[in-house]
Structure 1
Amino acid sequence: MDLGNVGWRKSSHSAGNGGECVELAAVPDSVAVRDSKDPEGGSLVLGRTDFRRFVGAIKEL
């Protein structure tokens, strides 16, 4: 999947000091996630249901 032209946005829960930053992009039927410090380093693309499960699991930590 080509993610070169999607609109990435930084998570509102990312640290403001430049560390631990996550960016999200809505793509058809999915959500892409990447590290804002390494935007060319690859992305994780999850279906919307799987993304909700992923976020729910992280919140339980």
Structure 2
Amino acid sequence: MSNLRPDRATFRKSSYSEGANGCVEVCAAGSQHFVRDSKNPHGGTLVLDGASWKLLVGRIKQGALDW
């Protein structure tokens, strides 16, 4: 597991989110994946292991988390 701290990670935002209001940023570091709110980058970071990340991305692609 990576010892990278979220406050030192380089996050990226999807090109699909340009102009959108509900954006997140992500960073992968070894087996860890960091997720944060792009509008509030210092408000907290969700840290996921590889299996949890794959599950989250799969559910998003299925539309299971659409509002």
Same fold (TM over 0.5): yes
The corresponding residue for 1:4 is 7
Any runs of at least 4 consecutive aligned residues in structure 1 with deviations exceeding 6 A, and if so which?
none
Structure number with bigger Rg = 2
1:59 corresponds, among 42, 58, 61, to 61
Aligned residues: 60
Unaligned runs of 5+ in 2: none
Normalising by structure 1, what TM-score? 0.81
1:48 corresponds, among 47, 50, 67, to 50
SS at match of 2:8: coil
Unaligned runs of 5+ in 1: none
RMSD (CA atoms): 1.6
